[in-house]
Amino acid sequence: MTSTTPTSAPAPRTGAPGTAGAPSAADSGTWVLGDRTVHRLGFGAMRLPQTGRALVPGAVPRDREQAVSVLRRARDLGVNHIDTAAFYFSPLLSANELINRALAPYPDDLVLTTKVGPGRDPSGRWLPHGAPGDLRGQVEENLRQLGRDHLDVVNLRVVDEGSVAEHFGALAALRDAGLVRHLGLSNVRAEQLEEARSLAPVVCVQNPYGLGAAPGQDALLRLCGEYGIAFVPFYAIAGRGRQNGAAGPGREHLPPEAVGSGASAAQIRLAWTLSRGPHVLAIPGTGDPAHVDANVAAGALRLGAPALAALDTLHVRLGRERAEEEARTGPSASADGR
């Protein structure tokens, strides 16, 4: 099977990140994703094509040159793992095409991870989830937009609790055909991961996770670690704000042991997320060049034991409150295709 293992990590640092010159994604450590070594602090492209809420019809397009500059800045800071999808677009901009314009010809160390399953029509409205026979077309759409002849990693986005065998089997066939190098899963449960692993190697699981995440996600994170599978949280900063942007606790609501580092609330949340295991990879997204530097700097932040313990306690409490709320009102509907 494909090896997915951690490699060397930098010497731990404490205190506010980014205070000694430009930050570097290398400070977050590395992980071997399939057969490619990536820095654990990556970049998510969902927010690039628009300002404000993402993945909705009529989203306000971002300035094209600003989006391109964000991608190039991320690369300058050592980011070599970018998460994207063909359905990340606004009326005028597509994340994949922005990546192509900003970064092609692609550096040898750059790993582009895409996802398939969801689809949007040209106006931005969601289409029915793709059937197994639709996945080749979705893979080819990503290839066209990115200007590639193969995709490094493709995640199957799952939208229900049923079997993933037909869909994942279709992707495994595309891997055998050479269109895809490695396969992953997104928004899955443990039993779906087990089913997929029986069909083909799984190199990553991309699920919603961060401070206050649903309690079941912690068990899946640990299971991925046992299998040597990368766990890649999305919405680690946005939390329950999802495609609307950050909605997690601000500095005033974080434990005093954590805010003493001088880092921002977003940086603390990212650093805590990375602390959950050497197999955890973060992919914070932004369209703001200044936020790129701040996010990458979070990869160098090493929270001390008192701060981690206090944040762990907060995580459990927020997760319990979330579970109690969803028991009363039902789980939040997924309206973003993730």
Per-residue confidence of the chain (338 residues) as pLDDT tens digits? Answer: 444 454 434 433 334 444 457 899 999 999 999 999 999 999 999 999 999 999 999 999 999 999 999 999 999 999 999 999 999 999 999 999 999 999 999 999 999 999 999 999 999 999 999 999 999 999 999 999 999 999 999 999 999 999 999 999 999 999 999 999 999 999 999 999 999 999 999 999 999 999 999 989 999 999 999 999 999 999 999 655 444 445 556 777 899 999 987 899 999 999 999 999 999 999 999 999 999 999 999 999 999 999 999 999 999 999 999 889 888 887 655 445 54
**CA neighbor of 46 nearest in space, from 213, 182, 242, 239:** 242
Residue 269 corresponds to which amino acid?
R
Rounded to whole angstroms, how far apart are CA atoms 47 and 245? Answer: 9
Q: Strand, coil or helix: what is 188?
A: coil
Q: Residues 197, 151, 186, 338: what is their CA dihedral angle, to the nearest 10 degrees?
A: -160
Would residue 88 show up in a list of annotated catalytic residues for this protein? yes
pTM: 0.90
With left for phi above 0 and alpha for psi between -120 and 50, is residue 44 left, alpha or beta? beta
Element (H, E) at 115: strand 111-116
Contact between 284 and 48 under an 8 Å Cβ cutoff? The reply is: no
